[in-house]
Amino acid sequence: MRKLSIVAAAVALVGLVAAATGAGQAQFKPAAANNAANALVKCGTTRTIGVAYPATGPAASIGVFQIHWAQFFASQWNKKHPKDKIRIVQGDTQLPDTAKALAVAHSFASNSSMLGLVGPAGSQEVQDTAAVFKGGGLAMVSGSATRITLTRAQSGHARDTPVGYFYRTVPNDGQQGDRVASWISKKMKKKRVYIIDDQESYSTGLAEQVENNLRAAGVNVNRDSVSQQISDFSSVITRIPSNTQVVYIPWQLAGKAQLFYTQLRAAGKSAIVFGSDGTFAPGTFTGAGSYVSSFPVDYNSPALKAFKRQHGGQDEAFGLPTYTAALVNATAIMKACKNGTASRAEVRSWIKKTILPKAQTLLGFPVKFLSKNKGKQTGSGDMGGTADFGIYKIAASGKYNRVG
Amino acid sequence: MYLTTFSTLHHLPLADILDTIRQLGWGGAFELLRNGIVLGSLYALIALGYTMIYGILKLLNFAHGEIYMVGAFLGYGVLSILGGPLAPAIATVPLILLMFAGGMLGAGVLGVVVERFAYRPLRNAPRIAPLITALGVSFFLANSVLLLTHGQRYNYAAYQLGGNPDNGLPGPLVDSAFSVLGRPVTVVQVLVVSSAIFLMVALTLIVSRTKLGKAMRATAFDREAANMMGIDTDRVIAFTFLIASVLAGAAGVMFGLYIGETYYLMGFLAGLKAFTAAVVGGIGSIPGAMVGGLLIGVTESFAAGYVGGQWSDIVVFAVLIAFMLFRPTGLFGTRAIQKV
């Protein structure tokens, strides 16, 4: 009887702690973040934007592109706006380590000089840090978080972020997934597709979109999964039926796509490899005859040529939306600072009203954010207008030719 | 009743696995076996290092995976310096030999340096101290490479060696050396397995036939007694680290040639799996490490092939747990009897 009482008391205690923690998470607003959320910042000639990205960890190889583009933006912007300069403060989120992302979120939220935020990079990070950034009054502007539910509730799944606190300068999985599935089924007319995700939320979300759309179009779809840590795909490739026509790999790492392509061909399989925008990397993913979906970047633009020169001649598009995210923030901050002071609330209201022409965004289309739901898969915070994906085919020389 | 049972079975994942086995057939089974042997050879080379160092020092050198990673980077460095896979300055065979030399020697030197400065001062400390230090060295090495490479992944692209740079046609490394059941075994796969066998045989000969090997066995058996017999145990231990690291460096270069990718985190998971292989084979046993490596490689391959890519790591570490529960000494390990 005594033992039962002790166990019951322990269970009750655990329950109480859990309830308190849950309640605390919803309402807890560290004083520093609270102060920073409401602070009126003297703008001066240099304003601070935080960039939350994976500097270390498994996704460091793509995080480095994001910070390069953010730093490139800052250098270009500061040359043109000597009285409205931007200073970047970096936060290493170690995607997919959520704990680190939360630590960065708390640090940024309580940094009262910070007026804007680029990132976080991953959809799960955005979801996990949304409450902290909201508490701190910062709007997230991400160049790579593509999960649909970040901006739009889907059946059985509520919207993951509060309206007005999350924007993205990259089309979401729905937009990309629809485009890819349509291209494979209607243009390429393929009937047997094998989809392999890399177990990250970006990949699984996109894989599901494409799978559902392809099945609806009557295409035979097989699904598989590999860890992003794996480089030896030989056994997974063995599973791919020899009559498979297309292998769709919605992966974040273009280098892995190239490895996969090489190993697939070495195994004697001739299926066409189709990568998502994460694999768009001329010079890295060069599998002849492969396809890649990506936003229609103009590689002849002066800004892209300047970036390429600064980075050893390397073409790189994964981090490009981060440039645009920084531009959104910098433009909003400049407008908010017209009278010499600005609050995060003012910056948020200007981000909401962002209109950037195509020539400035580098994405191949203008940027204007939706204020409410549109269609079935976009919501407030998504880009409206021509936020569509291009389809590229890789030539034998490794050059990417736009075909759709 | 039979039909009801069968239809119920169809909804279980087991039914999917049996379906996959049937679909892949003997050809697919051979492919998975082939892949597993190649991968297992790499694990075996790294596992040998774990087992040798444990045998002589009773130290689990968790930095060993990072030695393997550095070896892979050094091999890539040699390839880059000599023109890269598309325009190498020398012919393919000497180029590959130089890559091995660079990776193995560099890893060997690093291993000796780590032993001298990180582990030797703790020779008489409680066993937990060098273990923690090993973890620290692991993080130090991985993050040092991260800083140097900015987290970039580098691709050996060895399939292009000897190929046609104008049209991207691959070189001879991915040509089929021979076929079994209609499935090719490529030149690079033969290279990896035969190199691993050569190195394992060389190690066995060194340990069993040379004076230094005798000294290594004596030191592993009883370090104090070996000292008293006039063996310079510090030198023997340094030599052990040298050999262990040379093998890991070789594995790193082989991984680069076979798979292609090098990046700063590649040593972590490979090191864990090689450690698993060493434990499964019997930690401290050289033949055990070889067999354990092959077993882990084949297990991983079949798990990925028959169950799914997302299951391979689960199955590998489940094997480790199973061995710990039911045969903690491993396949070749023996219970040590201590006279009290």
Which chain A residues are closer than 8 Å to B36 by Cβ?
235
Query: Cβ(A90)–Cβ(A82) under 8 Å?
Result: no
Per residue in B196-208, pLDDT (tens digit) is: 999 999 999 999 9
If one counts the domains in chain A, the total is 2
Higher model confidence: residue A359 or residue B41? Answer: B41
Q: What is the pLDDT of residue A249?
A: 97
Helices (H), A250-319: 254-266, 302-310
Per the domain annotation, does A253 fall within a domain?
yes
Scanning every residue of chain B, which has its alpha carbon at the shortest distance from the alpha carbon of A63? B151
Query: In whole angstroms, what is the distance from residue A366 CA to residue A363 CA?
Result: 8
Give A168's DSSP letter. Answer: E
Same domain (yes/no): A262, A395: yes
Per the domain annotation, does A12 fall within a domain?
no
Question: CB A234 to CB B167 under 8 A?
Answer: no
Scanning every residue of chain B, which has its alpha carbon at the shortest distance from the alpha carbon of A231? B259
Q: What is the pLDDT of residue B175?
A: 85
Q: What is the pLDDT of residue A4?
A: 54
Which chain B residues are closer than 8 Å to A63 by Cβ?
151
Query: Cβ(B114)–Cβ(B137) under 8 Å?
Result: yes
Q: How confident is the model at residue A255 (pLDDT cuts 50, 70, 90)?
A: confident
Q: What is the pLDDT of residue B239?
A: 95
Question: CB B309 to CB A226 under 8 A?
Answer: yes
Angstrom CA distances, A9 to A13, A22, A96, A351, stand at: 6, 20, 37, 51
Same domain (yes/no): A337, A216: no
Nearest C-alpha of chain B: how many angstroms from A259?
Answer: 7
Same domain (yes/no): A335, A349: yes
Q: Does the pLDDT at position A13 exceed 60?
A: no
Same domain (yes/no): A144, A209: no
With tokens 């289309």, the residue in question is A365
Which chain A residues are closer than 8 Å to B150 by Cβ?
60, 64
Q: Model pTM?
A: 0.81
Per residue in A261-279, pLDDT (tens digit) is: 999 998 889 999 999 988 9
Query: Cβ(B37)–Cβ(B221) under 8 Å?
Result: no
Query: In whole angstroms, what is the distance from residue B322 CA to residue A22 CA?
Result: 37
* Residues A20-32, mean pLDDT to the nearest whole number: 48
Q: Phi and psi dihedrals of A157, rounded to 5? A: -140, 120
Per the domain annotation, does A124 fall within a domain?
yes
Q: A46-53 and A114-118: which strand pairing?
A: parallel
Same domain (yes/no): A261, A287: yes
Q: What is the pLDDT of residue A23?
A: 40
Which chain B residues are closer than 8 Å to A241 by Cβ?
23
Angstrom CA distances, A247 to A71, A210, A241, A256, B316, stand at: 35, 12, 10, 14, 27
Interface test with A, best of B310, B311, B314, B316 (most A CBs within 10 A): B310
Nearest C-alpha of chain B: how many angstroms from A178?
Answer: 26
Name the CATH topology of B33-326.
Answer: ABC transporter involved in vitamin B12 uptake, BtuC (1.10.3470)
Average pLDDT of chain A, as a whole number: 88
Question: CB A64 to CB B151 under 8 A?
Answer: yes
Average pLDDT of chain B, as a whole number: 89
Residue-range domain boundaries for chain B:
33-326
Cis peptide before A282 (omega within 30 of 0): no
* Residues A383-393, mean pLDDT to the nearest whole number: 81
Token pair for A318: 């994964």
Question: CB B310 to CB A225 under 8 A?
Answer: yes
Which chain A residues are closer than 8 Å to B312 by Cβ?
230, 235
Same domain (yes/no): A108, A238: no
Chain A residues whose C-beta sits inside 8 Å of any chain B C-beta: 55-58, 60-61, 63-64, 196, 199, 224-227, 229-236, 238-239, 241, 253, 255-256, 258-259, 262-263, 265-268, 284, 286, 288, 396-398
Query: In whole angstroms, what is the distance from residue B24 CA to residue B308 CA?
Result: 13
For the ranges A134-138, B167-171, B278-282, B331-335, the lowest mean pLDDT is seen at B167-171
Same domain (yes/no): A143, A240: no
Query: Cβ(A284)–Cβ(A258) under 8 Å?
Result: yes
Q: What is the pLDDT of residue A254?
A: 87
Question: CB B35 to CB A232 under 8 A?
Answer: yes
Give B310's DSSP letter. Answer: G
| Residue among A57, A255, A397 whose CB faces B153 most closely | A255
Scanning every residue of chain B, which has its alpha carbon at the shortest distance from the alpha carbon of A283? B155
Per residue in A43-100, pLDDT (tens digit) is: 999 999 999 999 988 888 889 889 999 999 999 999 999 999 999 999 999 988 888 9
Nearest C-alpha of chain A: how many angstroms from B78?
Answer: 20
Question: CB B151 to CB A60 under 8 A?
Answer: yes
Helices (H), A217-297: 234-239, 254-266
Give B121's DSSP letter. Answer: G
Q: What residue numbers bound the domain in which A123 lies?
A: 35-171+300-368
Q: Does the pLDDT at position B85 exceed 90?
A: no
| Residue among A57, A268, A284 whose CB faces B184 most closely | A268
Same domain (yes/no): A107, A185: no
Higher model confidence: residue B147 or residue A88? Answer: A88
Query: In whole angstroms, what is the distance from residue A369 CA to residue A372 CA?
Result: 9
Per residue in B9-53, pLDDT (tens digit) is: 444 478 888 988 998 999 999 999 999 999 999 999 999 999 999
Question: CB B309 to CB A230 under 8 A?
Answer: yes
Q: How confident is the model at residue A28 (pLDDT cuts 50, 70, 90)?
A: very low
Per residue in B109-128, pLDDT (tens digit) is: 999 999 999 999 998 899 89
Of B273, B260, B207, nearest to B84 (Cα)? B260
Q: What is the pLDDT of residue A22?
A: 41
Same domain (yes/no): A132, A199: no
Same domain (yes/no): A255, A184: yes
Token pair for B159: 């399939």
Q: How confident is the model at residue A182 (pLDDT cuts 50, 70, 90)?
A: very high
- Report the largest interatomic distance among the alpha carbons of chain A, rounded to a whole angstrom: 79
Query: Cβ(A194)–Cβ(A241) under 8 Å?
Result: yes
* Residues A23-29, mean pLDDT to the nearest whole number: 41
Give B174's DSSP letter. Answer: G
Of B66, B68, B76, nearest to B43 (Cα)? B68
Interface A-B: count of C-beta contacts within 8 A:
110
Q: For residue A182, which amino acid is it? A: S
Question: CB A232 to CB B39 under 8 A?
Answer: yes
Query: In whole angstroms, what is the distance from residue B301 CA to residue B316 CA?
Result: 10
Give B311's DSSP letter. Answer: G
User: The domain that contains A69 carries what CATH number?
Assistant: 3.40.50.2300
Which chain A residues are closer than 8 Å to B38 by Cβ?
234
* Residues A25-42, mean pLDDT to the nearest whole number: 68
Per the domain annotation, does A165 fall within a domain?
yes
Q: How confident is the model at residue A21 (pLDDT cuts 50, 70, 90)?
A: very low
Per residue in A271-303, pLDDT (tens digit) is: 999 999 889 888 889 999 999 998 887 777 888
Residues recorded for chain B: 340
Which chain B residues are closer than 8 Å to A268 by Cβ?
184
Per residue in A213-241, pLDDT (tens digit) is: 999 999 999 999 998 888 899 999 999 99
Same domain (yes/no): A56, A91: yes
Question: CB B155 to CB A258 under 8 A?
Answer: yes
* Residues A112-117, mean pLDDT to the nearest whole number: 95
Question: CB B260 to CB A256 under 8 A?
Answer: no
Same domain (yes/no): A227, A346: no
Q: Does the pLDDT at position A191 exceed 90?
A: yes
Helices (H), chain B: 2-10, 13-57, 64-81, 92-114, 128-149, 187-209, 211-221, 223-228, 233-258, 266-281, 286-302, 312-326
Where in A188-331 does DSSP place strands (E)? 192-197, 220-225, 246-249, 272-275, 291-294
